[in-house]
Structure 1
Amino acid sequence: MSSSEHPLTGWTARNRGFAFICAITVLALALRLVGLGTRFAHWDEARVGYWILRYQETGVWNYYPPIHGPFFPQVNSILFELFGASDFVARLPVALVTGLVPLAAWLYRDHLSDSEMVAFAFFLAVNPVVLYYSRFMRYDVLLAAFMVFALGFYLRAQATGKARYLYAGTAALALGFTTKENAILYVLAWLGALVLLFDHRLLLSRNHDREWTETFVDTTKETGRGLLRFAPYIFVALVEFFVIIVYFYAPRANGTSGPGLWKAFGQPSMFGAVVAEATVGTWDKFTGQWVTSQGHAYLPFLRHFITVLEQGAIVVVLLSVVGFLAARYVDDRPRDLVSFAFYWGVVSILGYPLVTDIQAGWVTVHAIVPLMIPAAVGAGIIYRWGREAYEDDDRVGTTATIVISLVLVVLILFPATTVVYMHPQDPDTPSVFGGQRHNDIVQWGQPAAGIKSTMEKVQQVSKANEGGTDVLYYGYVDDQSNYVFYVPDESSNDGPPPAASGWYNRLPLPWYTEMANASVGSTLDNESLKTRQPPVVITRTSREGDVAKYLDGYRAYRHDLTLWGAPTTIYIKKSALRKANQAE
């Protein structure tokens, strides 16, 4: 280093790729944290958040596959205790982990160039679908982030032989398994991709005048030596995985019968039952959620999947094809990681429409993230073309590269800006080519815009109300003889699944009433409103005629509880609202 060179400047020059990745990570964190609590909760966020609050109150928790793994109940319950429950705090773990995931690109430095790692980090930071669901209390992006870290650490372990990368990768893998059942599909996709890579080796051997059997034996020996190198550490890694799984999945049984993690410390003989429930019991439920087909038509789900890719990941998809083809046919030999990730992504596109139970944009994350690796290679090719054109003073080539790059950036940033920040709960969004288009990135369980301010009023009057019911749902029986809104026993909602299906119709409102510690009840009898006039009455808008005549002195607020409908009217007593405002 010259005497005039600043130490920081010198370090940046020597580690330019890592410096760019760090800058992108700061950007990723900012994009996720700014306005994190402004969007009203989605149905999935609300039901999980509600049951976390009930878990805090009761101390009772058991794994229930339809709401997926224990990561949120165990982590968010601590955050709610420390900082209070809110939309911001509920989404904070996802925002932080996915905001830091661009750093994982540095773990791939043995397989990607600096420009490719920077492109990979950039895609992880700003892809519209990944960014939208990074600001969402849901597991899909969180799982993808943990798996990107896990694979990166394992690749570093392979390259360096250092056990610390094995342990870090195992911790990330175990945390991935605490999020969502399709963690097992990641492992299966990886194994399938490895089989295809092995087939590559066998095919390449023919081009070098070698028998495939010789290549088979050599590759097997090479793999065996690699595993043998880590033999002293694999057992420790397995114990690490086991401990993390047991801690998260072990039931909590405060004051109830049956095994419970904390109860076992007072009754050591119970530890066997706790471990069995956290492992074997969880595995039975775990595989039952994802191993079997969901029994729906395949093509509509595939069509929706591809539509979301077109709206939120078209750049990643196109560049991944360029990167895969270049790495396979242009380079001296196929690049294993690029082929591995491309196969992983393509299988995910074809497979997830089969195993998922609802059409949802978040599922595409599991294909988008692996395709980012070959896409980064495609972006690296464009970068090298532009740099070579600039160095050769080729103005046409330089200009063409700049134009292509700008078009690609616009195709990423425009939907990211509109869907994530301007229209995060709207059924339609502006198109980059002008006009409006149906917004398939946002899932239908997201309430339409405008309801947040009304629920803030509900929370205000609930907190100010002294005694009695704070929020009363007026329910009814629908055409299929199901209750809507009505729940005979509110305590049956303390844990999943609720005993009364009518509770689901209330979503996402229970999350907000529970945060306010509101006393909630329901009725099927509109005549009871003559005597029961709580601060808040909620019913379907179609039932306004049944209740409006009993609610003189209330103000009606009408909202859709889903993206496309479920019109609901929230009545707030004017005097209660004035009292709440005065109390503040």
Structure 2
Amino acid sequence: MHRAAGEAGTGRQSAATDDAGKRALFALIGITLLSLVVRLWGLSDRIFHWDEGRVGYWILRYHETGQFQYRPIIHGPFIQHVDALLFHVVPATDFWARFPVAVVAAGVPLTAWLLRRHLDEIELVALGLLLTLDPLLLYYSRFMRSDALVGAFAFAAFALLVRAYDTRRPWLGYAAVVSLAFAFGSKENALVYVLCLGGAAVLLYDHHLVQAASREVSVLERVRTDLARTWGWVEEASGRVHPALWLGGGLAGALLVFMTITVLLYAPRPEIWSALDGPGTFVNVVEAGTLGAAERFADGWLDAGHRDHPYFAFVHDMLETLVYGSPVLLLFALLGFAVDGYGGDARGLVTFTAYWGAVSVIGYPVATDIQAPWAAFHVVLPLAVPAAVGAATLVRFGERGVQKDDRAVVAVAALLLTAGAGGVVAANADYWNSAAEEDRQVVQWAQPGNDLQPTLAVVEAVARENTGTDVLLYGDQFHVANESSLDQPPPGGPSWHGRLPLPWYFERAGAELTSVPSSADPGDATTDAPPVVIAKAKHRGALEPQLDGYAAAEHPFKLWGERIVVFVDRGAMNEAGVSL
């Protein structure tokens, strides 16, 4: 399908408006169903990551106690509230913990329909497919972190704002505010999204002014014309209400919606349930859910020490992740940006999203505190739009070859599209539930090996059948002097983090734990040992002779050479009906 000029505000009019538009909509609905299937299929096959285990453990504690306090280190509360509620009706498993993230991310391809005045039928379908199948987007939307959540909500907010501008329907603007509020409730880097969008908008408007200057229109005249046009739209939309009152009321309403959702998500529990007991209580809850949460965020994430890292090393790490995780999308994005920008009347949407992705590459290495592949998720998401244009360009190239009976052109287009599709399929096959060191460019380094998962299933089964202490953790990395300090955050000692993601599995099984430091004599420590003993692999030689009657299994605990050994009493396994 080809584009035609003519629609105000777009530079080009999408042909996705009549029967072709209906075909695109039905295709996007089908793609969204595919997106849901590929995100839910085998969702529990990869063992929990270190970070998933940390968030999951505190969700289980919140689920049990009903007590919640926002902690920036755990990120936004959206997933905590949703999972805590979900665990009232389904078991706390890896699948169900990841389920809300997968479902929200699965809906992103459908938001492409909101951009239909700027993209034609082929581009809309290509965008839906890229948002569904890009390996980096797919991997981290099957991951119980909030990156996919904040990305999905922020992208939806952007698409809703575009549609609100196209149709002049204020309710779409309110829907965008709701989506943006959920983005802020998912993860703090929603603020980075706003900054990147602002940076892209400045670049796009500068591009607009340069184009005006090339037509010998002064910058001041162009700005004055744009302001007048914007005010004219406000006057038209306000109807009989004074435009200033309409605009002020709309902004106030949007702020009220945003703040209401923010308070509901960030306010502490159980205090929020007594918010209406009196004016003082109400003010305290609102303050805790807004200013209090902002202060916690500033104290935890905006201090200079937290951002003290080599910038260019982080840029290199992100670019490496993009090249390994999303090479096809990147190549298509470069093609789409070039074709749209230099092939005629450049579309603002394509230019804007390309700038958005570029600004994100520059901004995220400043904003993030660790080198983690999931940061690249936020670059790939906006670049999917110019990538869709690039993919559609190849399709139209092949169509013209068919029309002209030019077999060479058809062959080249088919080869490039097939290579792109094959690259996506191959990458997804490689990274699907991967926990392997050779995939370190996409898989974050704190990922345990998948072969630990069946061993932990044995540990859980034994713990459920055993009475008394279930697990002994040996070594300084695992030792916590007071296990009861783990009932409420923060945990009672940094060594607890060395156990992750094990606490998630222990907590959901109701396991009773004890631990000893490395200085403890192995013989003394294992006297009357519980049915499960876990240690770093380096302690295996000292512990194994003391644990007669125990089976041992050794597994990767981090990608970069860290291993643990799990000893399980054979008699306890027999009673539980399991085996290593």
With normalisation by structure 2, the TM-score equals: 0.91
- Residue 351 of structure 2 corresponds to 339
Whether the aligned pair in 1 keeps the contact of 2:72 and 2:301 (CA below 8 Å) is: no
Percent pairwise identity: 39
Shift of the 309–289 alpha-carbon distance from structure 1 to 2, 3 Å rule, reads farther
2:550 to 547, 554, 559: 554
Partner residue, 1:286: 297
Post-superposition offset of 1:385 = 1.1
Match of 1:307 in 2: 320
Q: Which consecutive unaligned segments of at least 5 residues does structure 2 have?
A: 1-17, 238-245
The whole-number CA distance in structure 2 between the counterparts of 1:288 and 1:118 is 44
* Bigger mean CA offset, 131-140 vs 190-199: 190-199
- Alignment partner, residue 297 of structure 1: 310
1:507 aligns with 2:500: yes
Is the contact between residue 330 and residue 383 of structure 2 (CA under 8 Å) also seen in structure 1?
yes
Q: 1:210 aligns with which of 186, 205, 217?
A: 217
CA displacement at 1:292 relative to structure 2: 5.4
Tell me the alpha carbon deviations over residues 162-220 of structure 1, each in whole angstroms, 9 at most, x when there is no partner.
23211211111000001111100111111111112221222122232322211011112
2:424 is the alignment partner of 1:416 = no
Q: Could you tell me which of 377, 386, 391 is aligned with 2:389?
A: 377
Question: Match for residue 490 of structure 1?
Answer: 483
Alignment of structure 1 residues 178-577 onto 2, 5 Å = 178-226=185-233, 229=237, 231=247, 232-253=249-270, 260-266=271-277, 269-288=280-299, 291=302, 294-332=307-345, 334-421=346-433, 424-428=434-438, 438-466=439-467, 468-476=468-476, 484-524=477-517, 525=520, 526-529=522-525, 531-577=527-573
Which ranges in structure 1 are unaligned for 5 or more consecutive residues? 1-10, 254-259, 429-437, 477-483
Displacement of 1:287: 4.0
Shift of 1:499: 2.1
Q: Please tell me the root mean square deviation across aligned C-alpha atoms, in Å.
A: 1.9
Amino acid paired to 1:312: G
Query: C-alpha distance in 2, partners of 1:548/1:379?
Result: 58
Question: Contact (CA 8 Å) 1:201, 1:215: kept in 2 or not?
Answer: no
- Measure the CA separation in 2 of the matches of 1:123 and 1:150: 19
Structure 2 residue identity aligned to 1:317: L
Distance 2:486 2:31 in 1: 43
Closer, same or farther: CA 12–200 of 1 in aligned 2, 3 Å: closer
Q: Deviations over 1:337-363 (max 9, x none)?
A: 111111110111122122211111111
CA gap of 1:274–1:14, structure 2 versus 1, over 3 A, is closer
The CA deviation at 1:221 is 2.4
3-state SS, counterpart of residue 357 of structure 1: coil
For 2:310, the aligned partner's letter is A
Give 1:133 shift: 0.6
Aligned partner letter, 2:469: T
Indicate if the aligned counterparts of 1:539 and 1:570 stay in contact, CA closer than 8 A.
yes
> Aligned equivalents of 1:540 and 1:218: distance in 2?
68
Q: 1:224 to 1:496 in 2, by over 3 A?
A: farther
Contact 2:192 2:367 in 1 (8 A): no
Residues 276 and 14 of structure 1: CA distance in aligned 2, closer, same or farther (over 3 Å):
closer
Amino acid at match of 1:575: G
SS in 1 for 2:369: coil
Q: For the residues of structure 1 that align with 2:403 and 2:563, how far apart are their CA atoms? A: 61
Shift of 1:562: 0.9
Number of corresponding residues: 547
- The 8 Å contact of residues 199 and 359 in structure 2, kept in 1 or not, is answered as no
Counterpart check, 1:86 vs 2:93:
yes
311-320 vs 363-372, which moves further: 311-320
Paired residues of 2:473 and 2:515 also in contact (CA < 8 A): yes
SS at match of 1:81: coil
SS state of the match for residue 38, structure 1?
A: coil
CA displacement 1:486-524 (0-9 Å, x = unmatched): 111112223433121111111111100111011112123
Task: Give the aligned residue type for 2:315.
Answer: L
CA contact (8 A) 2:20 2:121 kept: no
* Alignment partners' CA distance in 2, 1:469 and 1:514: 13
**1-structure distance, mates of 2:565, 2:266:** 39
Indicate the SS of the match to 1:206: helix
Q: Secondary structure at the match of 2:87?
A: helix
242-251 or 348-357, which moves further after superposition?
348-357
Q: Which amino acid aligns with 2:573?
A: L
Residue number among 68, 74, 79 corresponding to 1:72 in the alignment: 79
Counterpart for residue 8 of structure 1: none
Look up the SS of the partner of 1:347 in the other structure: helix
Larger mean CA deviation between 205-214 and 23-32 belongs to: 205-214
Q: Offset at 1:237?
A: 2.2
Partner residue in 2 for 1:480? none
- Structure 2 CA distance, aligned partners of 1:533 and 1:320? 58
Amino acid at match of 1:370: P
1:458, 1:86 → 2: CA distance?
15
Distance 2:497 2:326 in 1: 32
